Chain A
């Protein structure tokens, strides 16, 4: 009886509270319907389990997602890839594009209570990351000097202007590390690596290997009143089918990247308890393509490669193989990143045009209807890529090109592609928010390096493209860069060094009770200091 009474009282209180909260908020904050309340636990899938949580030492996808809540960078990036303040509250760039000055927030503290200062930034960028982080090393080695002007001002002086310099301050590109813990130690062997210490809204609590990682609210967080959540559990679920079931049953409240297989996406999209978004991957913006070894006949002929673009139905690939995820690609730059050029030669799906191009190139039909034979090394990244291989084989057969499929394991694939022992293969790479970081490397001739994966493995070489990419990286005037990159994209799309397929999208499933999960271009790797739970 007393139970029922208590329950009744609770319901009353809740109703009263809800009314009290909702009324003033609805008046004061138009557009925000619900209060951003404290409290709540979020369970997020992490897959595969990260090897370590210190972001400066390991930048694999899962590490970024977990450690993004613990560590922070100076900047973060909106969906439009424009920089937004994080640990730097403001910044200035000198007119010649060589000097960058950052004003840091003054009240940020490390999880052990020590203040975060400009000296930590100088230590992280000039010492620690130079040793442990290949991408950061490539950027910060362009600096002539990095110095702390006072406790909350840092200045970077570059040897020459570098267009995408600000992009380097995103959290996974340059996580800020505590100088007082790491300076003078062996970074990789530091015992503090087991209990990561950052400035982020969540603190490391416990790691039960093979099961979960538990982060708890940082009560001393430098943004007043934040974060809203009490804690976050990252759940390790290695089996794809179990992950889908965990979403269906509501035992996890978020999945990201490749957690859910493409064929499960249409089913989970229909669930009442979750919402799906493909936003929040703009900083990574992967682009997939058919890798073409331009050294081999008949692939050395531009017209043959153009014919491939016409012969393959990218919309079919998106709809039937990727179950609707992604956008048909039109060129080397993903349209959600910076400096995309839409006015390039268009390759609509048209087998007749493909055949005309093949005729023109001198590949006539033989007695058996075959014009040419090529091999296709299927990327061993799972079912979806196998289906793609089968589709490409049939699509090319329709225009008279006989494709023989070859299979291999992951190591064999890397080995054969990087040593140029292939005709056709598949590939996709991240673009990191700027062509100079994620696009240039694929097409410039000084990146033709045997044995190096994700370099210019096609052997494509065009001095004009080389020149345009080099010039575009060495200026920080956006208009000028746009012109140079547009010119480069037009040439590339005409030359077809690779046959672009899809601007890939990843599905993020978030429980409908949790708000603000995906707000920036780094999406699920964001700090989650503004994520809150709506209680029913």
Chain B
């Protein structure tokens, strides 16, 4: 296994707050890497830097051994095969779920076709197949702003997967999803991403999800990586439990 994404010495401060204070991280091909840590630790900042949304003040991010991602706009990074999903789903709210999926699929070849209908048979079939994989087909004709949070999250990720990324960075894929739906959303995600052989990095607050989903866990704290390792080891680490998970050992109430 080789590193698909290599971050070295990333630094970014917002005023006095160090959102990235020397981040070194290798994301291995085909692994699922969870990022955990308290609010404000710089987890989303890492995703934003890796996808061109924010530019670090120092450091480098190498993709696939050769591409330097720093300084590239998001759309160029996407074209290299790095997709992302959002904590707040970014859907075209006045379009239907099917149209959202179709637009993402059309974007893969470039959308510059002023005379070909978006919902031409080939794209419609592919969009329906994509929604089917995500268990969203029954919602195809709903407007995107009429979905519940779980479905919106999945639709958001489906649009990223439509572009066939090799690496997918997901910002809290399960936050805001009703507790009853959460595990089903996760099961769907794991299945689709494994099938598509996508390498995934995801920020997550639910340790049950992390334990089930992640091959490795990176613990963020104040812009640094405080710990990195397999979930069994990291999630049972007393320091991680105290600072991130909020378990007080031998608590006396």
A binds B: no
Contacts from A to B (Cβ < 8 Å): none
- B residues within 8 Å of A by Cβ? none
